[in-house]
Amino acid sequence: MLLKKVKIYNYKSYEDFSLDFDNNYSIIIGNNGAGKTTLLEAIHLALTGTMNGRPVFYELSPYIFNRSIVNQFIDEIKAGNKKNPPETKIELYFSESEDSDLNELMGIENSENANVPGFVFSIKFNEQYREEYQQYIQNENFIHIPTEYYAVEWKSFAGVTITTRSIPIKSHLIDSTTTSLAASSQKYIMKIISDVLDDKQKANLAVLYRSYKEKFGEDPNIASINEVLNEKKNLMLDDSRNLSISLDVTQKATWESAIAAFLDNIPFDYIGKGEQNVIKTTLSIGNRKPQRNLILIEEPESHLSFSNMRILLEKIISECSDQQLLISTHSSYVLNKMAMDNVILLGQNRSGKLNELSKSTRDYFHKLPNYDTLRFILSKKVILVEGPADDLIIQKAYHQKYNKLPIDDGIDIISVNGLSFKRFLDIAKLLNIDTVVVTDNDHDYEKNINNKYKDYMCGPIKLCFSTNNELNTLEPQVLKCDAGNYDKLKTILGKPDKSEGELLEFMLKNKTDWALKVFLNSDLQLNFPEYINDAIQ
């Protein structure tokens, strides 16, 4: 039983969005603002009817609607066109199963008219408020959707109204990145603990808690406090009544809100954020209840050291083998460790699944987690270079031309072993990443570049190299591309007596050192090779 697809219409950053899930677990990556959190939140909202830990009805606000759709709606109304208020819809499609509960959701009442199990969650206008709504839109200055006139509805693909109790798949959202004032870490961890306990254990705990509360009022110290309070009852409108303090024993005062979790006798709120993260996550994924089989985790690496993150990921992988798992992350280690064939990229201008890469490329990145795969994927534009010297020289050339560094324009320079270029270019082709490769010709540009990269000389990929086979690498290129560079380099490198050959030998033996001195020098401006200037255009 798996969540196979989610379709989101008019919810926060999503106007009209669809995403398929192919595996038991998926790694969701994307830049800030790409919608990772919104995606997890939308799935959890549809399955549980809760937002920010509260029933969605209490959290409805104009800001749940996509702003572009709202603006279009307002423009239509102001133009005199009759139009119903926009609604939010979240469709969840599940894999077919022998589970009778899930089959009750089978039908074709979905946007694809597909006969599959699933349901539609809607936040839609309530026709009971039509008159009030008509009066509201007469205000020429209205800029928000009146959510006070909205209702929440679940309907199965069979067209039958259902409730969250009718949905056999439940979810648990673990967001370790934030701790709101309204729902502290203590409340959050107690909710998780409550999920772990069975019904009998929770009932026994509730009875025991109530008995302790009742004994509270019988304590002599409390009785004396109540006597003092009653001496002031003349201040009340009805002085025949008694004022006292005690503990609330009604159902709303649950044990979850009063009992605190402790770790080594330290309240949960006072332990480190990293430990809080681990405990929240491991307790949630360790919950083997059959009705909870979709775990949503927001950035599990938050607040964790590398070693602790490694331990946590091992637990997640081993414990969630029979549960569906969706993880959003900014960690390249999480990306590689949990297998690239499970990666889903979210972005405004590009999207894709990394399982579309060749197996050899996936294996390459999976075995080499130190390569900053995520940094490459999330870049606006990338310049791939063969080493630190190339990195420094390109940055210097860019600064000399534009008076700023490439990173100031969102251009990331990544130093990669030349043998790895094609692995990164496979990702660039798949995800349409604007990528420039700066490479040496190694004495034969036809063989080492034109033939080697013939499948990559298109689309978003640009190869920059010299066609002069005599100048086979960066050092002779910089030294000999302009007659004035020789004297300037002697000054910059502090080698005034070196011949051109000796200076080149020094540069070749001290690749990073010479490039760093050029990068830091602000007095003399070098002329750079044509292929370097081409790379920074």
* φ/ψ bin of 164: left (φ > 0), alpha (ψ from -120 to 50), beta (otherwise): alpha
Domain limits for position 37: 3-23+31-169
Is 205 within a domain? no
Q: Report, as an integer, the average pLDDT of 186-205.
A: 72
Q: Report, as an integer, the average pLDDT of 159-175.
A: 86
Is 505 within a domain? yes
Is 225 within a domain? no
Identify the CA nearest to 63 among candidates 120, 7, 123, 116: 123
Q: What is the pLDDT of residue 179?
A: 46
Q: What is the pLDDT of residue 340?
A: 65
pLDDT for 141-152, tens place per residue? 888 888 999 999
Q: What is the pLDDT of residue 348?
A: 61
Per-residue pLDDT at 347 exceeds 80: no
Is 90 within a domain? yes
Give Cα separations from 194 to 172, 182, 188, 251, 298 (angstroms): 12, 19, 10, 16, 21
Report d(CA 523, CA 393) in Å as an integer.
16
Q: pLDDT category, 502, cuts 50, 70, 90?
A: very high
Is 286 within a domain? no
Report d(CA 309, CA 301) in Å as an integer.
6
End of a domain among 113, 137, 169? 169
Decide which of 40 and 209 is more confident.
Answer: 40
Burial (CB count within 10 angstroms: exposed 0-12, middle 13-18, buried 19+), residue 529: buried
Decide which of 27 and 445 is more confident.
Answer: 445
Q: What is the pLDDT of residue 180?
A: 42
If DSSP codes are grouped into helix, strand and coil, which group holds residue 334? helix
Per-residue pLDDT at 265 exceeds 60: yes
Identify the CA nearest to 426 among candidates 356, 374, 371, 370: 356
Is 115 within a domain? yes
CATH of the domain at 108: 3.40.50
End of a domain among 110, 144, 169? 169
Q: Report, as an integer, the average pLDDT of 508-527.
A: 94
Per-residue pLDDT at 170 exceeds 90: no
Q: For the chain, how many structural domains are there in total?
A: 2
End of a domain among 131, 147, 169? 169
Alpha helices in 338-420 (DSSP H): 359-367, 373-377, 388-402
pLDDT for 56-81, tens place per residue? 988 899 999 999 999 999 999 888 88
Q: pLDDT category, 420, cuts 50, 70, 90?
A: confident
With a pLDDT cut of 90, the percent of the chain lying above it is: 43
Is 527 within a domain? yes
Is 457 within a domain? yes
Look at 113-122, 213-222, 380-389, 490-499 and tell me which has the smallest mean pLDDT: 213-222
Q: What is the pLDDT of residue 507?
A: 95
Q: What is the pLDDT of residue 109?
A: 96
Identify the CA nearest to 385 among candidates 404, 366, 412: 412
Q: pLDDT category, 258, cuts 50, 70, 90?
A: low
Q: pLDDT category, 456, cuts 50, 70, 90?
A: very high
| DSSP at 181 | S
Q: How does strand 352-353 pair with strand 343-346?
A: antiparallel
Decide which of 274 and 9 is more confident.
Answer: 9
